[in-house]
Amino acid sequence: MQEIRVLVCDDEELIHQKVEELIKTYDKTNEYVFKVFHCYNGEELINFSVEYDVLMLDIDMPDKDGIEAARTLLKNGYNPQIIMLSSKRERFKDAFKIGAKRFVTKPVDEKEFYEALSAVIYSWAGSGLIEVSNNGEKCTISQREIKYIESKKDYLKIYTYKTDFEINESLKIFMEKLDQRIFVQSHRSKIVNLLYVLDMDKEWLYVNGGGRIPVSRRKYKEVHQKIIEFDKYWEG
């Protein structure tokens, strides 16, 4: 399970309670463990000493507003994923100028909240490394570098945008090691990284570089749904 540390910075206690409730109901697959921290104004945020991954930040707070506090964090070299909370949609532009990933309308809109949190989680997709043994030599590959994997007669061939690797492992076991948010098995012998998919029809996935990967009839619905979900949340 992946641990995600969330800091909520808002001057309204009811918002803190609402965010906690929504986070508790977000992950129905138990894939993530959320730790939620709280602060209530911009100065407290700037001096907050516990590390966190996601900042849910109110714009309108007394003394130092969220935009100003976020600018200070960035100047100090701290760059969490930011979800802005505000009832004032006219502040959207200000929020995105300081790198906010998403904007959630207050009082906290449930649909917007879940989509914002999903977008943040998707932004980390494939950021992990994977270790393989290539012709007896151990190598480490970034998952985002893998374009697709092909099952040969008695080995797997991994195609990356830099080079290719051959490993002795089953497609099923290797698929379990990959980030399921960006990888999909389109065929009994093929796994594809959605980061490199440009288009799809009923028979093929067209990948960056001019290649195409077959999509079996049995896998079409699953692949199509995976692409819809990926397109909804992935922002690069």
Q: Please report which confidence band the pLDDT of residue 171 belongs to, taking 50, 70 and 90 as the band edges.
A: very high
Q: What angle do CA 88, 58, 39 make, to 5 degrees?
A: 165
What pLDDT, on the 0 to 100 scale, is given for residue 236?
63
Among 147, 99, 145, 121, which Cα is nearest to 232's?
A: 121
What CA–CA distance (Å, rounded) separates 40 from 112? 22
List the domains of the chain with CATH numbers: 2-122 (3.40.50.2300), 129-233 (2.40.50.1020)
Of 13-22, 26-35, 152-161, give the lowest mean pLDDT range: 26-35
pLDDT tens digit sequence for 93-127: 788 788 888 989 888 989 999 999 999 998 999 99
**38 close to 95: Cβ distance less than 8 angstroms:** no
Q: What is the largest CA-CA distance in the chain?
A: 66
pLDDT tens digit sequence for 191-222: 999 999 999 999 999 999 778 999 999 999 99
User: Which residues lie closer than 8 Å to 153 by C-beta, 6 or more apart?
Assistant: none
